[in-house]
């Protein structure tokens, strides 16, 4: 299927975000809505009341440090409800910006699909560290598939059995990356995850760091998650610059095709991923 072919009827793209949010988040969500409609899918936003309506109280009580485990579960429960009337339900985090929608087909998995994530951070000694993860900032499910119900049960079990304060990815990235063989679901490429470390590298023009991230990509990017969860928290001891993400959103939303991250700093790498 090419990027310009419309999806068959019965696909919904859905998102959720509190009413109080930064303007740049609205801009991201607009790019997702445009992408969905361009490919012939319905687009829905779900308010907090409906999004968290089916979350068990004990789950919310455990999410006193990070809300992410509750939202990880909420997107799955919402997808299951939507699949009563749609053939495919596609979740996209509110902080995902799409700039190459023509080149990003809407996922139509046989069962389930999740984003392939290359995560960039630093070791304590300052060296770069990269993790090859599976993440749910974009995920899709097919009606009649078996994985969604299994995953909901696994998420509840992971939240229930975790000791101490719940970590951010206990029901999301950590579970998806280490809890299942990779062949369990389809992996979506071309959607980056711009960690705070990568965002700082882009903002400061740290070409070596950007090239190191880029070297592990399988293709140029057409969308990216911008890590809203870390916006108001220091990451690895470094506080976020409030202007970095809004500037990045403006730059990316103005693009119309695939790009390598080094193009954002005007320092194209001479060595492209194989």
CA separation for the pair 45, 218 (Å, rounded): 31
pLDDT in tens, 176-211: 999 999 999 999 999 999 999 999 999 999 999 999
Res 188: pLDDT: 97
Q: Which of 17, 18, 20, 23 is nearest to 249 (CA)?
A: 23
Q: Which of 103, 137, 99, 105 is nearest to 118 (CA)?
A: 137
For residues 268 and 262, the answer to whether their CB atoms sit within 8 Å is: yes
| CA quadruple 71, 175, 232, 191: dihedral, nearest 10 | -90
| CA quadruple 212, 215, 217, 219: dihedral, nearest 10 | 130
Res 210: pLDDT: 95
Res 169: pLDDT: 86
Q: Which of 114, 118, 113 is nearest to 132 (CA)?
A: 118
pLDDT tens for the chain, 274 residues: list them: 344 444 445 999 999 988 778 899 999 999 999 999 999 999 999 988 889 999 999 998 888 878 889 999 999 999 999 999 999 999 999 999 999 999 999 999 999 999 999 999 988 888 899 999 999 999 999 999 999 999 999 999 999 998 878 888 889 999 999 999 999 999 999 999 999 999 999 999 999 999 999 999 989 999 999 987 655 555 544 555 668 899 999 999 999 999 999 999 986 665 555 5
Tell the CATH topology of 11-265.
Answer: Spore Coat Polysaccharide Biosynthesis Protein SpsA; Chain A (3.90.550)
Res 265: pLDDT: 93
Which residue matches tokens 């809890």?
A: 179
Res 231: pLDDT: 59
> What are the strands, taking DSSP E only, across the chain?
11-16, 42-46, 88-92, 96-98, 112-122, 128-142, 186-188, 191-193, 223-225
Domain boundaries, the chain: 11-265
């Amino acid at each position: 299927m090419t990027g310009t072919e419309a999806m068959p009827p019965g696909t919904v793209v859905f998102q959720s975000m509190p009413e109080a949010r930064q303007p740049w988040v609205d801009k991201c969500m607009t790019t997702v809505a445009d992408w969905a409609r361009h490919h012939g899918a319905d687009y829905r936003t779900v308010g907090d009341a409906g999004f968290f309506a089916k979350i068990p109280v004990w789950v919310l009580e455990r999410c006193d440090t990070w809300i992410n485990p509750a939202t990880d579960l909420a997107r799955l429960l919402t997808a299951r409800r939507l699949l009563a009337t749609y053939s495919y339900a596609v979740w996209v985090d509110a902080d995902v910006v799409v700039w190459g929608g023509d080149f990003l087909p809407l996922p139509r998995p046989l069962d389930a699909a999740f984003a392939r994530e290359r995560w960039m951070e630093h070791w304590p000694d300052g060296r770069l560290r990269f993790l090859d993860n599976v993440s749910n900032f974009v995920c899709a499910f097919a009606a009649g598939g078996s994985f969604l119900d299994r995953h909901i049960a696994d998420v509840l079990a992971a939240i229930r059995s975790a000791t101490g304060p719940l970590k951010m990815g206990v029901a999301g990235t950590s579970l998806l990356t280490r809890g299942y063989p990779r062949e369990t679901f389809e992996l979506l490429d071309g959607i980056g995850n711009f960690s705070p470390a990568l965002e700082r590298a882009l903002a400061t023009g740290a070409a070596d760091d950007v090239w190191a991230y880029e070297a592990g990509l399988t293709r140029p990017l057409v969308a990216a998650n911008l890590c809203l969860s870390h916006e108001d928290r220091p990451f690895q001891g470094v506080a976020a610059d409030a202007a970095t993400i809004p500037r990045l959103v403006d730059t990316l939303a103005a693009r119309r095709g695939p790009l390598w991250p080094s193009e954002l700093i005007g320092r194209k790498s001479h060595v492209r991923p194989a």
